[in-house]
């Protein structure tokens, strides 16, 4: 099964929204939210993974300098554990660097240890906990990756 990554198109929104409601039944974005996000191309970047003509993952980034925010990232359960989420997150971080952001921020449900583990493995650190942020009273962790620190390290390795 081949998986391809490409920029999200307006025609992908119904399928992305269907996957969103399957993966995040309590917290799913409404269809109009995806439409609004894609319409803001000056500050937004969205991608989808596709396999056999079907959307199996997606991610989005909002950049308003000096910060980039991970808006969403999701992989269909049948494709999890293959590194696709890590590749999407890497793409989001690289895009944030290209857009000259100093930090990448994200929110994650406290009860999602798989996602938290991925974010921590890529250098994100928890900077705050929002009590009862998600439906059902689930806390959110606010996590940050400092890009200015990473960019300085890259320069040191090249020297």
Q: Residues 70-97: pLDDT tens digits?
A: 999 999 999 999 999 999 999 999 999 9
Give me the domains of the chain, ranges plus CATH numbers: 3-146 (3.40.630.30)
Catalytic residue among 20, 119, 134, 154: 119
Q: Identify the pLDDT of residue 148.
A: 79
Query: Residue 132: which pLDDT band, with cuts at 50, 70 and 90?
Result: very high
Mean pLDDT across the stretch 135-146? 96
Q: What is the DSSP string of 23-70?
A: H-TTTPPPHHHHHHHHH-TTTEEEEEEEETTEEEEEEEEEEETTEEEE
Mean pLDDT across the stretch 149-159? 48
159, pLDDT greater than 60: no
Q: At what angle do helices 84-98 and 147-158 cross, to 10 degrees?
A: 90
Q: For residue 83, what are its two tokens?
A: 């590194």
Tell me, yes or no, if 107 is annotated catalytic.
yes
151, pLDDT greater than 80: no
Tell me, yes or no, if 119 is annotated catalytic.
yes
Catalytic residue among 94, 107, 133, 134: 107
């Amino acid at each position: 099964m081949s998986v391809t990554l490409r920029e999200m198109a307006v025609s992908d929104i119904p399928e992305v929204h269907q996957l969103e409601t399957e993966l995040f039944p309590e917290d799913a974005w409404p269809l109009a939210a995806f439409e609004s996000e894609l319409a803001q191309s000056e500050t937004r970047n969205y991608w989808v993974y596709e396999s056999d003509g079907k959307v199996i993952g997606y991610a989005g980034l909002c950049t308003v300098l000096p910060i980039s925010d991970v808006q969403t990232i999701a992989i269909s359960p049948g494709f999890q554990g293959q590194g696709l989420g890590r590749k999407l997150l890497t793409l989001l971080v690289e895009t944030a660097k290209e857009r000259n952001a100093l930090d990448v921020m994200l929110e994650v449900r406290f009860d999602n240890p798989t996602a938290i583990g991925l974010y921590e493995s890529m250098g994100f650190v928890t900077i705050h906990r929002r009590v009862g942020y998600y439906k059902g009273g689930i806390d959110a962790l606010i996590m940050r990756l400092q890009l200015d620190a990473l960019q300085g390290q890259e320069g040191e390795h090249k020297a």
